[in-house]
Amino acid sequence: MKRQPHSDLYSPLNEANLFMRQRRQQMEVRLLHQHGISNFELCQVLEVGCGTGSILADYLGYGVSGDALHGIDIRGELLIKAKHRIPHGHFICAAAQSIPYPTQYFDFVLQYTVFSSITDAVVRTKVAQEMLRVLKPNGVIVWYDFWVNPLNPDTEGIRPAEIRHLFPSCQYKFRRITLAPPLCRKLIPPCWGLATLLEYLKILNTHYLVIITAPR
């Protein structure tokens, strides 16, 4: 898996990134509520490819206890930052093809733009199998990833049909969100209203947010 180097382009202080993050969070909360989830107390949450823990910090804000947050990543230097961000969280340097947790351990498993960085179909399948293995019956996978990313040759977008193939026998709620980031960065800050309208229309949106529910 290859990732683009971090730069100010991806800074949380970049107003376009703030717009994209807040819009994603709004849809996350809406979909989770539609799924009947309004309380995260007693839930165990794992993020695959957690990086510095920014997504897990969102779930801390949603009400998950810090000691119920778990993250794995192959980049140990990022896990150090994640541990500083969430001191009570649990972080392990490990590959997602072999998740170091027991079967049916988690209520939620998260993946945010990890699968689009896995261009090997066999590895994708193995990671998906591992995510399902550690998920409790009727547990939820929260998926957020590109369906197309033409500007980055090291990624490969994933469409709904492949998501269904990776996670068979599950239930799915798909939402196409996130205005194309290059366009978003041109429109914001001067044109927040136009960016909001374009994202609402979905035509230029580049990601899918999916709630995937495991069989009972």
Kindly list the domain boundaries of the chain, sorted by start residue.
38-178+205-213
Is the pLDDT at 9 greater than 80? The verdict is: no
Q: Tens digits of per-residue pLDDT, 39-52?
A: 888 899 999 999 99
Is the pLDDT at 1 greater than 70? The verdict is: no
Can you give the pLDDT at residue 13? 79
Can you give the pLDDT at residue 14? 87
Q: Tens digits of per-residue pLDDT, 122-178?
A: 999 999 999 999 999 999 999 999 998 767 888 999 999 999 999 999 999 999 999
Is the pLDDT at 5 greater than 60? The verdict is: no
Query: In this structure, are strands 106-112 and 171-179 parallel, antiparallel, or unpaired?
Result: unpaired
Under CATH, what is the fold of the domain 38-178+205-213? Rossmann fold (3.40.50)
Q: Indicate the length of the chain as a whole number.
A: 216
Sign of the dihedral through C-alpha 53, 202, 119, 45: positive
Sign of the dihedral through C-alpha 174, 175, 181, 183: positive
Is the pLDDT at 28 greater than 70? The verdict is: yes
Is the pLDDT at 8 greater than 80? The verdict is: no
CA dist 155 and 149 (Å) reads 7
Can you give the pLDDT at residue 74? 97
Can you give the pLDDT at residue 7? 58
Determine whether 65 is exposed, middle or buried from the number of CB atoms within 10 Å of its CB (0-12, 13-18, 19+).
middle
Whole-prediction pTM: 0.92
Query: Quick one: which of 76, 75, 56 has its CA closest to 66?
Result: 56
Answer whether 54's CB lies under 8 Å from 117's CB: no
Answer whether 67's CB lies under 8 Å from 89's CB: yes
Band of the pLDDT at 11, cuts 50, 70, 90?
confident
CA dist 79 and 82 (Å) reads 5
The token duo for 97 is 């093809």
Q: Tens digits of per-residue pLDDT, 81-119?
A: 999 999 999 999 999 999 999 999 999 999 999 999 999
